[in-house]
């Protein structure tokens, strides 16, 4: 886990930094003015901290799968958060939609398979996520109350899952299109070389060298041609 500094960090604060943390930090953030929603997850191998605009709770990590809606949002957060998000400290802090003034945050940019999809907002934690005490879970009563409120206030996560699936389908389609373009160009080059081979009687080794040279030269222009074609299709 890496840290970046906005403004600066006092020596008393920098002493709290643990760059060797093995915690997983993921977020889901939906901006809608005063109705914005967020879900923050911080976990180690045993327990997981969960925070929403309704409150926070710590439960055993293995138990999160028992709560279908919460578990679905957790999986989504893992998919759309960078694997090693940078943790920022802002001395001036920010309150916004939160109940208290906060200074520790990570970017809520949406990632999918290591690609940046869109830019969101900042996700501010109450404290440094790596310093949240995960040793003690909340009581069964508190957990039940949290889950009840969560299930009755959060929307169906299937809408978000469908959006991610559609995005993945688009990525696969574009990849297939790119491969098809490259294959068609290679086929055309090979057919021309077969004609040259028969006409001049050259051997296969020379044909292969010419073929590789043509492909290397064409690769420079292929990506540009593909991007232009996709822009035309999109418009």
The structural domains of the chain, with segments of one domain joined by +, span 3-155, 163-234
142-192, pLDDT tens digit by residue? Answer: 999 999 999 998 888 877 766 666 666 776 777 777 777 777 777 777 777
Rounded to whole angstroms, the maximal C-alpha distance in the chain is: 85
Instruction: Assess contact for 30 and 38: CB atoms under 8 A.
Output: yes
Among 54-68, 118-132, 189-203, 221-235, whose mean pLDDT is lowest? 221-235
Give percent of the chain above pLDDT 70.
69
In Å, how far are 48, 112, 231 from 234, measured between CA atoms? Answer: 42, 21, 5
Q: Which helix (H) or strand (E) holds 62?
A: none
44-68, pLDDT tens digit by residue? Answer: 989 999 999 889 999 999 999 999 9
Instruction: Assess contact for 109 and 120: CB atoms under 8 A.
Output: yes
Between residues 131 and 7, which one has the greater pLDDT? 131
DSSP SS3 for 13: helix
How far apart CA 50 and CA 134 sit, in angstroms, is 11
Phi first, then psi: give them for residue 96, nearest 5 degrees: 50, -120
Nearest to 205 by CA among 219, 216, 193, 217: 193
């Amino acid at each position: 886990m890496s840290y970046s500094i906005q403004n600066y960090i006092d020596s008393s604060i920098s002493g709290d930094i643990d760059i060797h943390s093995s915690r997983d930090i993921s977020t889901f953030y939906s901006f809608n003015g005063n109705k914005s929603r967020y879900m923050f997850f911080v976990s180690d191998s045993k327990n997981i901290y969960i925070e929403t605009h309704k409150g926070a709770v710590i439960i055993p990590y293995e138990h999160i799968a028992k709560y279908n809606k919460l578990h679905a949002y957790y999986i989504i957060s893992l998919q759309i958060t960078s694997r090693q998000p940078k943790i920022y400290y802002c001395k001036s802090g920010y309150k916004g939609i939160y109940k208290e003034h906060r200074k520790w945050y990570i970017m809520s940019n949406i990632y999918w398979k290591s690609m940046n999809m869109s830019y969101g907002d900042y996700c501010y934690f109450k404290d440094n996520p790596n310093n949240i005490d995960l040793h003690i879970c909340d009581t069964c009563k508190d957990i039940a109350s949290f889950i009840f409120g969560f299930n009755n206030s959060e929307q169906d996560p299937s809408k978000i899952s469908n959006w991610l699936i559609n995005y993945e389908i688009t990525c696969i389609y574009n990849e297939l299109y790119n491969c098809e373009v490259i294959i068609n160009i290679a086929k055309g080059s090979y057919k021309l070389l077969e004609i040259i081979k028969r006409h001049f009687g050259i051997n296969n080794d020379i044909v292969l060298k010419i073929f590789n040279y043509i492909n290397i030269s064409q690769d420079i222009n292929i990506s540009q041609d593909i991007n232009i074609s996709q822009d035309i299709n999109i418009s």
